[in-house]
Every structure is written in structure tokens, then in C-alpha cells.
Structure 1
Amino acid sequence: MPIDFHSPANRLTYTHRTAGADWARLVGDLVDPVGARVVDVGCGGGVYTTAWLDLGAASAVGVDFSAAILSGARERAGSSSREGLSFREDDAYATGLPDGGADIVFERALIHHLDDLAGCFREARRLLAPGGTLIVQDRTPADVARPGTAGHLRGFFFERFPALLTIETARRPTGATVEAALREAGFTAVRTTALAETRRTYTDAREVGTDLRARTGRSILHDLTDAELDELAACIESKLPSRTPITEIDHWTIWSAGR
């Protein structure tokens, strides 16, 4: 069954990673985060909400529609929450935050869950002060279709279970669709950039299998049964060098647009 974002059992699903240095370099080329007011819509486990503070943002508000997921984000942030960090339960179409109160709105791995991209982007534009920037990070069908390699493990998911590729491709908007929705919402200076982001470095193939069986941060794997998941993990372990570190790369498309 697809992942239930509201289940307490999944509250820590998106907390077990850090933002990559390659991600930080790319967003630093797009915007100046120092002193910025950031809203992270669809923040999940809060990994990137806190990453903006690490880049020098003055404040970062994580917004998510799931109380369970937000409880995990707050737990990850620690009981003594960082200065400038806050989380709120609200909707991507209506965040409840004030007009013009953000310099940067960030939406990572959000839009493939939505039916109305222009509506989501209109809300982001409302949040931004004049001169502010929206940054959207997600996968296109072309990103999804990359073949499996020791660095791109996701490709092996679809090689072993082609039905997953059908599901994944159907829910990913094309670049042209995203760009059109940004312009419909009133954004200008739309720019598209590719990002190869380090997801994690594993000590060996066995650790890769352990991560896969936990479905950590991989919502597409919730469409597999436990038996299928174990089969996939064993299959991928067999394709990887057994005693060397594995660095997994996620391929993304990033759109930036000005208010």
C-alpha cells in the first residue's frame, strides 16, 4: 500500500539523512541564503528546513500537512529547538503564513503529490516578498528513467519491479508542465537546473540492503509487500560490490523562479 503520511508509525521516515554539500552549493548559486527568511513547504522530516539555517538563513519555517511527520521533524531538531526554527501543520495551497513574509520558499519532493501545481505556486508567490525566489526540487519522468547503477540505486527498483516505474512516472510532472504552472502563477525568470545530490554513503552492500528493507525516506517502496521488498533488497545487494563503500546519488530537477 502507498505510504500513509499520517500514520505515527511513519513519523521518522524522512528524518534519517542530511542535506548534501552538492545541494548546498547549487542553492547557494541560485540565492543568497544569509539572513534570509525561508519557508520550507512540504518539509517532511525537517532535514532541509534545518539545512537552510546551516547556510545562514535568519529563520526557517517548515510546513507540512501531517502532524505525525511534523512530530518526527521536531524530534529530529531536538528538544531545545534552534533559534529561528519552527514547524507548523498546514496545507501547501493555504499555509496560513502572512503575505510577503519570506525571501525564499522551498518545495522539495512535494509537487509530485499535488493535483494543482499552479495553485501551490500561487500560494508560494503570496508568501514571497518582492524580489523573493521560489525553489522547487523534484524528479521529472526523465530523472526517474535513469538506469540502475552502483551510484543510482533507484534504477534497480524499476528494473526488478517494472510496475513501480509505471506508478513513479505517472506521478512525476514534466519540466514543461512545471514551467507552465510557474508562469501561470505569475512567476518570472524561470530557470531549470539539474542536480545530482548525494543521498548517502554506505559502508557496504549489506548496509544498502538494511536501508532498503526499512523503506527509509523512499515512499515508492511502500507499494511493495514485505516479501517483495526483501526480494528487491537481496537483488540489489547482489549487484553491488560487497566489501566497498557505496555512494548513492539522487537525480533531481530544480526550478527557480522570481517574484
Structure 2
Amino acid sequence: MKMNFHANENAESYTGREADDTWARTMLSVVDPRGKRVVDIGCGGGIYSKAWAKLGAASVTGVDFSSAMLKTAQKQCADEPRISFVQGDALQTGLPDASADIVFARALIHHLEDLNGFFAEGKRLLAPGGICIIQDRTIDDCAVPASKTHLRGYFFEQFPRLLAVEAKRRPEDRTVQAAMQQAGLADIRLLSLWEVRRVYGNLAELADDLRSRKGRSLLHELADEELEQLVDTICQKFSGQETISEQDRWSIWIGRHV
């Protein structure tokens, strides 16, 4: 069953952690956000909205279509006056033209059917010279074999049908770049990032995180008993290991409004 992003029980699915330094270093290698206006489309619980503020952004506007998640994001970011949130669609944010220096979207575009419309909206929001940064996974990113750092690979080993789900929804690099070009973005390039998702202090923390399905819309495809089987399998793989560092491979597309 697909995840319901509007349900109150899923309101905290994209909270409870901070963006890792592996992400921050990559963003800083792409753009200097100090004094810039950031629009974070598909902001969820505000994890990366807060991260942009910590990197020195003058303002961050988080946009999401889920009022339930936005309520959580507002609570999570209540201590940061530079962050605000608005409810809006990724293709029609309702924000003014040229109101952003950086348009950012993480783990969003694989949920969208109209990439051309999304990038047209992103281009509209950017001021001249602004930069669009899109972080998501291709099917090649998803299909990286399982390892002691790439836990997601075990999802597909145990339930191969999940990789078929990913194959249907994950965009190809050429498709993303074509949509960016059609929108009029220039200097398009692609980076690859191994981002540390979370470091678990013990196996129980990892098991609880998996059972909660937090930040993992794919796990909503599993019935409760299937999820418990997956948790048991992964716990066996990591039996006796104390600290566990979970990493995911991401593709990052960058384009500029010239």
C-alpha cells in the first residue's frame, strides 16, 4: 500500500534526524548559500529546510502539499525565524516569480508525473543567476548491492518486488536532464553522493527506525508481518555490531537560471 502523505499518523515520517555533514559538504561544493533565499519544495518535516538555514541562508521557505507534515515542520523549526512554510503543490507553489536564489528538492521528483511542469515552476521561482538543486535516486542508485553501510539493498534482497516498484517510479538521468533543458535551465550537471542517513548507537535503534517506516515511503509497500521479517533479517546481518552507519547513494542534478 502506498504511503498516505496527508495522514496524521505519518505526519512525523520525515522528522527525527538532522542532515549529515556528508550532505552539507556536497551542497557547499555546489553553492554558497550565505545570504541567499532558498525554496525547499517537498520539504516534508523540514529536515533540510533547517539544514539550509544552518548553512547560512538568509531565508528558507519550505513548500509541501501535506498540511499534516507542515504542522510538524513548523514545530521542528520553531527556533529558527529564518524558516517559513507554505502549503502548495510542487507544480504550483503559489510563491512569487524570481523569489529564490536556490530551489532545492530532495526525494521529491520520483513522486511526480510531470517533470516538465515541475522544472518550469522551479525556473519561474529562480532569480537570474539562481541555481536549481535536485536530489533523488535513479534505479541505478537503488540497485546498489546491500552492504554493512547500504542497508536499503537488503530491502530488495528480501523482497525483489520492491525493486520493481522503484523501477516504475525512479526517473532516468536523461529524463531529468531533458526536463531541465526544456525549462530553460543551463550548465546542467550531475553529481553522485553517498549521504549518511543516520548513525545508530545500537541494533535496537535501527530496528525501531525500520519498524516506524520513518522517511522510507517504500516500506509502506510491505504488510506489517513482511516488515517484521525484514527487520529480523537485517538484525541478523548486523548481530554483534554496535554502531551502524547507514548510507544511501543519491543523484544530484544542478542547473542554473541564466
After TM superposition, the score normalised by the length of structure 1 is: 0.97
Which of these residues, 224, 227, 230, is aligned with residue 225 of structure 2? 227
Q: Does 1:133 align with 2:104?
A: no
RMSD of aligned residue pairs (Cα, Å): 0.9
Which of these residues, 162, 165, 188, is aligned with residue 164 of structure 1? 162
Moved more, 51-60 or 204-213: 204-213
Over the matched positions of the two proteins, sequence identity in percent amounts to 51
5+ residue gaps, structure 1, are none
1:245 is aligned to 243
CA positional deviation for 1:223: 0.7
Q: Does 1:209 align with 2:200?
A: no
Moved more, 132-141 or 167-176: 167-176
SS of 2:2 mapped into structure 1: coil
> 1:64–1:70: 8 Å Cα contact kept in structure 2?
yes
1:13 is aligned to 13
The C-alpha deviation readout for 1:2-30, integer Å capped at 9, x for no partner, is 11000011100100211110111111111
- 1:27-46 equivalences under 5 Å are 27-46=27-46
Q: Does 1:176 align with 2:171?
A: no
CA positional deviation for 1:205: 2.5
SS of 2:94 mapped into structure 1: coil
1:65 is aligned to 65
> 1:16–1:217: 8 Å Cα contact kept in structure 2?
no
Q: Does 1:194 align with 2:192?
A: yes
User: Could you tell me how far apart the structure 2 residues matched to 1:254 and 1:196 are?
Assistant: 11
SS of 2:198 mapped into structure 1: strand
What letter is aligned with 1:164?
L
The C-alpha deviation readout for 1:16-70, integer Å capped at 9, x for no partner, is 2111101111111111100000000000110000110100000000000000111
SS of 1:50 mapped into structure 2: helix
2:77 is aligned to 77
SS of 2:43 mapped into structure 1: coil
SS of 1:3 mapped into structure 2: coil
User: Could you tell me how far apart the structure 2 residues matched to 1:106 and 1:182 are?
Assistant: 13
2:115 is aligned to 117
User: Could you tell me how far apart the structure 2 residues matched to 1:9 and 1:206 are?
Assistant: 22
What letter is aligned with 2:154?
F
CA positional deviation for 1:189: 0.3
After TM superposition, the score normalised by the length of structure 2 is: 0.98
What letter is aligned with 2:155?
F
What letter is aligned with 2:45?
G
CA positional deviation for 1:242: 2.2
5+ residue gaps, structure 2, are none
What letter is aligned with 1:28?
L
Which of these residues, 238, 249, 252, is aligned with residue 254 of structure 1? 252
User: Could you tell me how far apart the structure 1 residues matched to 2:35 and 2:97 are?
Assistant: 19
Which of these residues, 101, 104, 107, is aligned with residue 106 of structure 1? 104
2:148 is aligned to 150
User: Could you tell me how far apart the structure 2 residues matched to 1:53 and 1:6 are?
Assistant: 26
SS of 1:119 mapped into structure 2: helix
